[in-house]
Amino acid sequence: MSWILVIIAVFLVVFQYILQYYFKDKELEKKIGAGVLILTAFVILGSYWAQQKENINLLVQIGDRDGEIEKLKSEKRVLVQQIEGLLTIRPKLDPWGRLQLSPWFTISSDFDTGINKAKGLYSAGNVNEAYKIAEELVHKNKTFGLGYYLMGVIEIDKGKNAEGEKNILKAINLKIPPEDEAWGYYHLGRSVMKRKKNDEALKYFEKALALDPNMEKTKQMIDKLKKDIKPAQKKPVKQTQPRPKK
C-alpha cells in the first residue's frame, strides 16, 4: 500500500513539471500547481501513515510470534518434567514379586521367578546359592519383602539370629504373602527360643498359628512352651505380729 502512494506522489511531482512547460496561462498553472502540491503532500503523509501502520502490524506479529515461542517453551518444560517423572517411577511389585500393572492385573517378573528359584535351592539344601539370589533381588528393589524373608530364614539357620530377625521383621513390614508371613513368625519364634525368651517366642508362634491354623510344627512348639513356662511363684507374705501392749 505504501509503495502505491509513493508512486502516486512521484507521478504528481512529474505532472507539476509538465504543467510548467505546456500551460501558458500562468494563473491557471499556479492554481493547478498549488493543488498538485497539496495533493502530493497528502499522498506523502498517507504513504508515511501506511508505512507506520505496516510497522505496527509487523511489531504485533513479532509479539505474537514471541508469545507463541514462549508458549511452546513452557509446554516443552512441562513435557520434560513429565518424562523425567516417568523415568523415576520404579515398577511396583505385589507381595509375590509379580509386576502390578493395575489393582486387578499382574504379570510375572524376574522377582517372582527369581525368588521361587531361590526357595527351590533352599529346600534342596543349596542355601548359599539361595541366599545369593535373594540378596541380588533385594539390591534390585529395596521393597521386595520376600527377598528379605529368605535371607532372614537362612541367617537364622546359620546362627546369625540378630540379622535374621531384623530381615524377617523388615519383610513382614513390607508385606509378604500370608503363608510366608506365617512361616516368618515361626522362624522368629524359634530364633528367640535359642536365647531362652520363651514368652516372646510363644507370642510369635501364636501369630503364626493365627495366620495358618494348619501349621502342625507351630502347634507342637506352642504346646511345648506352655508346658515349660511355669507361673511365677508367689513369695510368702510376712505377717507382722502385733506389738505387745504396754
CATH of the domain at 209: 1.25.40.10
* 211 domain-assigned: yes
- Could you tell me if 186 and 68 lie in one domain? no
Looking at the fold, whether 16 and 60 belong to one and the same domain comes out as: yes
Asked whether residue 110 falls in the same domain as residue 195, the answer is yes
Give pLDDT tens digits for 59-114: 677 767 777 777 777 877 887 776 666 555 556 889 999 988 777 888 899 999 99
Same domain, 212 and 103: yes
Q: What is the pLDDT of residues 208-246, one digit of tens each?
A: 999 999 999 899 999 988 887 765 434 455 555 555 554
Matching residue, cell 506352642: 222
How many domains are there within the chain? 2
What does the buried/exposed string (b/e) look like for 196-214 if buried means 16 or more CB atoms within 10 Å of the residue's CB? eebeebbbbbebbbebeee
Q: Is residue 23 part of a domain?
A: yes
Task: Flag whether 38 is in a domain.
Answer: yes
Interacting residues of 181 by C-beta distance below 8 A, sequence separation 6+: 172, 211
Residue 68 CA to residue 83 CA, distance in Å, equals 22
Residue 187 burial (CB count, 10 A): 21
76 located within any domain: yes
Is the same domain home to 52 and 116?
Answer: no
Q: Both 106 and 212 in a single domain?
A: yes
Q: Are 150 and 119 in contact (CB under 8 A)?
A: yes
Within the chain, where are the H helices? 2-22, 26-88, 110-123, 127-140, 145-157, 161-174, 178-193, 198-211, 216-228
Same domain, 220 and 172: yes
Range of the domain at 9: 2-87
Do residue 113 and residue 218 come from a single domain? Answer: yes
Let me know if residue 236 belongs to a domain.
no
Domain presence at residue 161: yes
How sure is the predictor about 157, in pLDDT bands with cuts at 50, 70 and 90?
very high
